[in-house]
């Protein structure tokens, strides 16, 4: 594949419903999309960085800067055999994994198209369908939260994850479990507790949660390991797992028993596959996280979720939960049983609505080899 040019763009999409975590509320997404033009195909990538550096250090603006200034120049004009050759070209740049992932994933999309196989197959997946859960943000009231859960269960989703924080944890687990004693239920703290709150966190054990996601600091294993020894509920790490070495360290330390894999957070498909393989070997289940993606990133998540180790329902849910109109065709749809069918056809398997993307674009730059 010869990488001839790259189109960077930022689009704006209002969310159907605001999404609130322990670090803040999002009502409208700014999303960095890119198109990678090779001599054989056009690959699409989405950078999953947020509007602000609150989930991780990266933001839409830092990703734009690093791609334009460093990562795109490292690719432009080069010929590479496989998408998995890209990470070596980015090595000199420290961090900025979401920016790197956007480019690498676009290359995987292009490679799958050139080989005339589905992206999920190129990644090594083999599921005909993937199991879906939902991530439900902090709401204005407990009643509103219960209503949302009811809606998602009726839609077929197989696991409910609720965002939590002090004052919105035991207070919601209690009424949820009173109404639905048996559902697969988990919570995500996005790092809002400290080890001094261990006694409080131990009370979560009463609610038979599938897991508690990233309770402590975003960059910590040591205190998570301490906490895990005192909890019955399994800890799942999200923010803290940046690469395969992190996964190995966390597993060996006993800092988690489940891993949430987000392809952008670990820097692209190559590293995501490596984290998956490592966890599988160690006997830890993994699942695919979400970052309020548009259809581009969503279709990448669908493909990744087909790998054998993704044995728990992920945060990969239907386009309509987020967007009035998604940027792909068909949109991502979830069956009444809570599954997404693995798409056929080469590449991501979803067509890009280029006219709609053009309309949503607020910023655009074409980068070519000089
Ligand atoms: O921690 O999983 C998270 C969204 C933005 C930032 C962090 C997280 C999330 C979600 C949403 O939980 C998952 C989704 O895309 O539905
Ligand atoms: Mg999370």
At 6, the pLDDT band (50, 70, 90 cuts) reads: very high
> If DSSP states are collapsed to H, E and C, what string results for the chain?
CEEEEEEEEEEEEEEEEEEEECCEEEEEEEEEEEEEEECCCEEEEEECCECCCCCCCCEHHHHHHHHHHHHHHHHCCCECCCHHHHHHHHCCCCCCHHHHHHHHHHHHHHHHHHCCCEHHHHHCCCCCEEEECEEECCCCCHHHHHHHHHHHHHCCCCCEEEECECCECHHHHHHHHHHCCCCCEEEECCCCCCHHHHHHHHHHHHHCCCCEECCCCCCCCHHHHHHHHHCCCCEEECCCCCCHHHHHHHHHHCCCCEEEECCCCCCCHHHHHHHHHHHHHHCCCEEECCCCCCHHHHHHHHHHCCCCCECCCECCCCHHHCCCCCCEECCCCCCCCCEEECCCCCECCCEECHHHHHHHEEEEEEEECC
pLDDT tens digit sequence for 69-98:
999 999 999 999 999 999 999 999 999 999
What is the pLDDT averaged over residues 308-327?
98
Pocket flag, ligand 1, residue 291 (CB < 6 Å):
yes
pLDDT at residue 275, as a whole number: 98
pLDDT tens digit sequence for 278-294:
999 999 999 999 999 99
Q: Which is catalytic among the residues 78, 163, 280, 363?
A: 163
pLDDT tens digit sequence for 24-65:
999 999 999 999 999 999 999 999 999 999 999 999 999 999
pLDDT at residue 101, as a whole number: 98
Task: Return the percentage of the chain with pLDDT > 70, whole number.
Answer: 100
Contacting residues for 256 by C-beta, under 8 A, at least 6 apart: 224, 228, 234, 235, 236, 237, 250, 284
Q: Are 327 and 353 in contact, with CB atoms under 8 Å apart? A: yes
Pocket flag, ligand 1, residue 290 (CB < 6 Å):
yes
**Distance of alpha carbon 98 from alpha carbon 140, whole angstroms:** 31
What mean pLDDT, rounded, does the chain reach?
A: 98
pLDDT at residue 370, as a whole number: 74
Active-site residue, 163 included:
yes
At 268, the pLDDT band (50, 70, 90 cuts) reads: very high
Ligand 1 atom at minimal distance to the Cα of residue 262: 2
* Ligand 1 mutation target, pool 27, 152, 239, 290, most atoms within 8 A of CB: 290
pLDDT tens digit sequence for 98-128:
999 999 999 999 999 999 999 999 999 999 9
Whether the predicted model's global pTM rises above the 0.75 cut: yes
Instruction: Report which bound ligand comes closest to the CA of 314.
Output: 1
At 332, the pLDDT band (50, 70, 90 cuts) reads: very high
């Amino acid at each position: 594949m010869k990488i001839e040019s790259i189109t960077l763009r930022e689009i704006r999409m209002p969310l159907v419903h605001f999404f609130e975590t322990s670090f803040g509320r999002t009502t409208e997404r700014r999303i960095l999309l890119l198109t990678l033009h090779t001599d054989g195909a056009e690959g699409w990538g989405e950078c999953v960085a947020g509007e602000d550096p609150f989930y991780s250090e990266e933001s839409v603006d830092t990703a734009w800067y690093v791609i334009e200034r460093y990562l795109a120049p490292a690719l432009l004009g080069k010929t590479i055999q496989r998408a998995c050759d890209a990470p070596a070209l980015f090595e000199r740049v420290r961090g900025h994994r979401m920016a790197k992932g956007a480019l690498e994933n676009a290359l995987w999309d292009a490679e799958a198209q050139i080989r005339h196989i589905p992206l999920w197959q190129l990644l090594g997946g083999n599921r005909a369908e993937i199991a879906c859960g939902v991530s439900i943000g902090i709401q204005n009231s407990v009643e509103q939260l219960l209503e949302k859960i009811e809606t998602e269960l009726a839609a077929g989703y197989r696991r409910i994850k609720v965002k939590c924080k002090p004052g919105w944890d035991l207070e919601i687990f209690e009424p949820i479990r009173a109404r639905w004693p048996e559902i697969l239920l988990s919570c995500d703290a996005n790092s809002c507790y400290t080890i001094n709150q261990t006694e409080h966190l131990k009370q979560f054990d009463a609610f038979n949660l599938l897991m508690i996601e990233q309770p402590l600091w975003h960059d910590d294993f040591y205190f998570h390991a301490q906490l895990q020894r005192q909890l019955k509920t399994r800890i799942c790490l999200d923010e803290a797992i940046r690469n395969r070495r992190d996964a190995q360290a966390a597993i060996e330390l006993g800092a988690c028993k489940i891993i949430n894999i987000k392809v952008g957070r670990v820097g692209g498909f190559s590293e995501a596959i490596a984290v998956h393989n490592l966890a599988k070997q160690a006997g830890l289940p993994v699942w695919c996280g979400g970052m309020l993606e548009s259809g581009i990133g969503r279709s990448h998540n669908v493909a990744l979720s087909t790998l054998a180790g993704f044995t728990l329902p992920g945060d990969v849910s239907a386009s309509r939960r987020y967007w009035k109109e998604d940027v792909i065709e068909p949109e991502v749809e979830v069956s009444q049983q809570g599954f997404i069918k693995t798409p056929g056809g080469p590449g991501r398997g979803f067509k890009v609505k280029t006219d709609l993307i053009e309309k949503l674009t607020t910023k655009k730059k074409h980068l070519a080899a000089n």
